[in-house]
Chain A
Amino acid sequence: MERLLRNRWALVVALALILAALPLVFPSNYYFRVAALVNIFALAAIGLNLLMGYAGQVSLGHAGFMGIGAYAVAIGASRFGLNGAVAMLAGAAMAGLLAFLVGRPILRLKGHYLAVATLGLGLLISMVLTNEAGWTGGPDGMAVPRLELFGTRLRGPDTWYMITAGALVLGVILALNLIESPTGRAMRAIHDSEIAARVVGVDVAAYKLKIFVISAVYASIAGSLMAFLNGHITPDGTAGFLRSVELVTMVVLGGLGSVLGAIVGAAMLVILPQALTIFHEYEHLLLGLIIMASMILLPRGVIPSLLARLRGGGA
């Protein structure tokens, strides 16, 4: 079991199989929708985990990049007549460019200072989305035209489940590739000791920036997919501070530095509140409790705790 959790290709194959098998047991469209949301948030969480769990840099504003991806497809299609897929790529490029431009000064900061700077960045993005109502529809949001590919309109949660599942598997493969590459070693090294990384020639600032850009692109793509799935987006729902907090919680809850963990964390934080929607009025109260409880009870994250348990018991 531990081997399985550690072997990256076993992970990819298992994930693909599970994602392919799930539709067989889904009783209704609702399940497809929730599962598609899990895929989407898992994708964003994997990107953020590259930044937080591997390179060790916190971001409390990552939903801002999701917002860019979401509004790129909405505005691109409705205002510029772009095909949704093209708009999605344009959004990813914009998110990456923004991350590139602001990343260097922001990532010089450490600890709480980095937290507040990224938080400020996310807030600024969501403020722009809220205030520029002429473009974005303001706080009430805007409709997202359906994605059209090869002459067919893509609609329906089952279709979007398949697309997001594909995107997730692709995201996992790219992330695993990166982790086992020179870049991956450099960023993991930065996490453990920046000065040791520097004295063997790793340009720490440059790598932090690269990972920041990559994680922003992951978030942007996830945001675009969410926009397509929901058909309607709002600044708070895509780029809000709560979203950023949820993303960070997913990463930590699943396990910093674990790709599988990011998926598990996303699944838990998407499904748990869904299961509790009967208590609609208590939504925030319960979300707050879930976030606190998961950090207090599982500060190391689900997957690392599980691995430690397996190692302790099995060996």
Chain B
Amino acid sequence: MTTAGAATWDDLLDGEELAHVETVPATDARIAPLPEDLHPRLREILPFDGLYEHQRAAWDAAASGEHLILATGTASGKSLAFNLPVLDAIARNPKDRALYLYPTKALAQDQARALGELRAPNVRAAIYDGDTPGERRSQIRRWANLILTNPDMLHVGVLPHHDRWADVLHNLRYIVVDEAHVYRGVFGSHVGNVLRRLRRLAGVYGAEPQLLFASATIANPGELAAALGGVDATVVDRDAAPRAERTIALWNPELLDAELGLRASPLGEASRLMAALTTRGLRTICFAKSRKAAELIHKFTVDRVDSATGKRLAPYRAGYTPIQRREIERRLVEGELLGVSATDALELGIDIGLLDCAISVGFPGTVASLRQQWGRAGRRGHGLAVLIASEDALDQYFMREPAMLLERRVEAAILDHANPRVLDGHVRAAAFEAPVDDADRATLGDEALERAALLPDLKHTKSGYVWAGRDYPAGRFGLRSTTPDTFTVVEAQSGTVLGLVERERAYSTVHEGAIYLHLGESYLVRELDLQARTAVVTPYSGDYYTQAKKDTNTAIEETLRTERRCGLDLSFGRISVTEQVVAYQKKSVRDQSTLETVDLDLPETSFETEAIWYLPERAQLDGLEKMPTLLGTLHAAEHSMIALLPLWAMCDRWDIGGLSTNVHFQTNRPTVFIYDGHAGGVGITERGFNAFEGWVSDTARMLEGCPCNDGCPSCVQSPKCGNLNEMLDKGGALTLLRRLVAASTSAT
């Protein structure tokens, strides 16, 4: 049954559910000769006598002293590309040092293992993170020439104590930032500052390290390097690694009720495909968004196959010990296991090489993630990659417009290191580390100097701005949120801290009675303690989710740009958002029906952020001006535009908020606001401002294509709507957006 290379899945790719299928041909590797000047001992450890062209391009850029960002696909040998220049430098001069940054401990661990196996000369590699015992730390600082750490450790554990790191900083030749696309949004904005502080301090100790970034394929690698490191980097993004032939199938579960947008369960569809594929002996991995979903897919698949095949299926999830994980990986690689259903939180850290088929259940949020998941398919020269759509608007849009998913350039990773809510803490930290003066504009940026002049706890002295406080400012804040005003989410039984939630999100996501999702696990919030700023949660396995109802107001603080676009006034600027969570609904996972509405008594919160807002002209609202049509029209246009914004900026629709009003107190006109949900903003909405015409026209196409008449979860309804999806007029929104599109095409 399993003849090598034969596509034994062809007959399965049939039926109403198949929205699109295409086969991407295999590509051959493009090989460049090894560099003449490569250290001879490194030549011996290479897998073959040559490099992929992109690896060679990376070598050449590094060799001529340039900063570099590599943005090539999964399994294209990115690690080797950035390791070679580093290992070559260390082989020649063991005193040279390199810092490797990883977003998680597990990824640092993987790289440490890989480096150990390379056996490169003179390398002394060590992991330096929160688990490193105190006595080992000074040894690592003295002795290791390749230090693997994370941005959080750099921020609180390294930079504020730079005198202890003098030797490392003085000899710092390379800074490697792997998985750079992960550093976007709030986290990325912080890391952008941490890297600037690091470059500045290296300069203080006389070094000028080169930055080597590696990223998934994104639309804007050069811009990401500039935003993260404050440097001009050479972009290497022409992937020359060989690629297996790949069949791509977009699979849309059967539409059961067009008006409700109700479709057959994606989990059921996934298990049906998985059962058919594994029964044929095809090794398959299935990625789901939550542990519960992964487990259900596993269970449904076992129910569909014979018992011998059933024994060769396993779930794979966070919470397994490393040993258990490695055991599953080994069994999968050796073919003992045929099918694994995993939570997509694990897509980065799973070490299984290539399989026959990869199924993604629900669009994972970014094309980069989807490609990472699909990248697992291609064993024996031909792989099958499937996306099974959820009812979410973006998923359904891709099913109707496959080219939007498969042919467009992937989205951009966006961050804004100059967001004042992020920047101020780093300016204080930098001033603590060394006086900040005009010469630091080159590394810290102009905005840092502007903020320094405004911060009351900095003192202006002859040598620059210095820290006048008593504590140590880096200790005041972490890198994962824009404010130290956060709530800690604690699991009641084990006392484990699951995460931090900013106050402005805490009331809507971890209020008493909320179902809180963390790394694919569900928890029920037992108590939200406003004084202690803790949410106590316990594991939850029921079948409802919760949606908060809130009153929101926006006030324009400063208009930064206003342009005539699509025949109306479009603005970008800073607004303040005031919210009060007043109730929540329990909704059935099965059919979204409302089970119960519970009132809440929570304080008001407010925060400043970035937003775009637009004021439809009277003519554009012709025939829609009566209430409630007017409000329903604006509200539906807002929701559907929010659903599509992740096409331009790598972000989650949960990161974006909106407000529509028939008359806003400042504009005195009907107004739609779409704002960044993180205080201060990280550049997402400005992306939308720049791409407004395309954004509007794609949204109109999305509404046009949705089979419902009056609006459904696949078009105008939002899973996070603070009005619980009341007052939505799909027809009105479509009319309005079409008029905007017409204005944009006639204007030029």
Do chains A and B stick together as partners? no
